[in-house]
Amino acid sequence: MLACHHFQKNGLAFLTGCGLLAVFLISPIASGAPKKMELPENLSKTVQVGRYSLELPVDAVFSGALLELNGVPVSITPGYIKPRVDREAQKTWLTIESRNLENAEHKATQETLGNGSSIYNYDHTRITGEGLDGEPINKVVYSTVAYQWFNNMMFVLGNDSTLNKDEQIKTILDAIKLSDLNDRQSICYVDGCLPHKTGNEGAYVDFGFAKHPDLRAKFTSKQFGGVANPLLAQRNSSAFSPVDEAAWITKSDFQHRTYRNTKRTINHLIGEEIIEASTEKTDEGYLTEVNAVWYYPGVPNSSKNPELRFDLDYSYVTTQKPKNGAGFLDQEEPNSLTEAMFMSIWDQAIDSLTSK
């Protein structure tokens, strides 16, 4: 029998190398069409992610998002009261202020805006020289970061690499409290949206599940330029030599299973569907992970066809090696997830993917 090493990159499980040391399992549904098991309508809800919507179980909980708007990163974290955001902002300011005390060009500045947000400009640096056109360069660049609290969420805009974008950041800050989930010219993060004309944008939205703490989901939408993205199946991400793989497989008592590996068309978009599972021995016991991904590579320089990805990941640890290695638990336990439940959540989500 074949034994192959499993590892992950970008949330996807891969197989690399082969030996004679572990069992390679293929699920009966790997070669057939996916079984579609729809969730009852009253057990699902619609969530707005980026410029798309998805159907997820009612216990799905928004756990965070990162939006990229014309080069400005907007980090959104739920579960924050205002005093906590104020403390985080003050801690950041003290760090910035300290490292800019000796800045010969300009000390760091802080400002409290009318909308209650705090914005800091810092690390001012003068750039001189000659441009490609021969014209002299003499300008000051600086970083900007801002904090705002709204609707029990912390918004952090910008970072050290966000240069000379304080006016753009102020415009976004003013728009946070004007969220409109029905605005088609906006990019959404489940609990709100930010107005943004399409172009030069990305959305990364994470979910947890109240009934199943070991289940996680992530939606990704990214507009990009340059060359086309490679398919997941074409990416070689192995960092192990054959000897290293064999030793690792033996030590970790590794098992792998492929549930699905096929093309799947969603909303007229031809993407890859890959669902794999693995079990390996760790210091805590036996870790089993089930990783599902649907991926559409998108089209370069196209706002209508961005790169799209949806991940659903489930993991659990047992003290003894599972009888059903590289898969789901044989019997239901508190907060455990059966194969049928996982596939139902998965199929419902990706089949419901719809643009705004």
Secondary structure (DSSP) of 178-211: G--TT-TTEEEESS-EEE--SSSEEEEEEEEESS
The helix/strand/coil state of 133 is coil
- Identify the domain boundary among 163, 195, 227: 195
Provide the 8-state DSSP code for 233: G
137 assigned to some structural domain? yes
Distance CA 166, CA 173 (A): 10
200 assigned to some structural domain? no
> Which structural domain range is residue 308 located in?
3-62+208-355
Same domain assignment for residues 137 and 243: no
H or E stretch covering 296: strand 285-296
Same domain assignment for residues 81 and 190: yes
- Enumerate residue ranges in the chain where pLDDT < 70: 1-42, 236-243, 245-251, 330-335
pLDDT of residue 241: 55
Same domain assignment for residues 22 and 42: yes
201 assigned to some structural domain? no
203 assigned to some structural domain? no
H or E stretch covering 341: helix 339-351
Same domain assignment for residues 130 and 38: no
Same domain assignment for residues 99 and 58: no
pTM, two decimal places = 0.83
pLDDT of residue 179: 72
The helix/strand/coil state of 348 is helix
Same domain assignment for residues 222 and 151: no
Same domain assignment for residues 300 and 221: yes
Same domain assignment for residues 53 and 98: no
Distance CA 312, CA 194 (A): 26
Same domain assignment for residues 162 and 249: no
Same domain assignment for residues 139 and 58: no
Asked if 5 and 15 touch (Cβ cutoff 8 Å), the reply is yes
202 assigned to some structural domain? no
Asked if 28 and 12 touch (Cβ cutoff 8 Å), the reply is no
171 assigned to some structural domain? yes
Q: Name the nearest CA neighbour of 97 among 66, 62, 122.
A: 122
8 assigned to some structural domain? yes
Q: Provide the number of structural domains found in the chain.
A: 2
Same domain assignment for residues 147 and 238: no
337 assigned to some structural domain? yes
Residues 6+ apart with CB under 8 A from 186: 179, 180, 193, 194, 195, 196
Residues 6+ apart with CB under 8 A from 167: none
- Identify the domain boundary among 162, 195, 228: 195
- Identify the domain boundary among 195, 227, 252: 195
pLDDT of residue 235: 82
Q: Name the nearest CA neighbour of 218 among 310, 345, 297.
A: 310
Asked if 308 and 299 touch (Cβ cutoff 8 Å), the reply is no
Same domain assignment for residues 251 and 282: yes
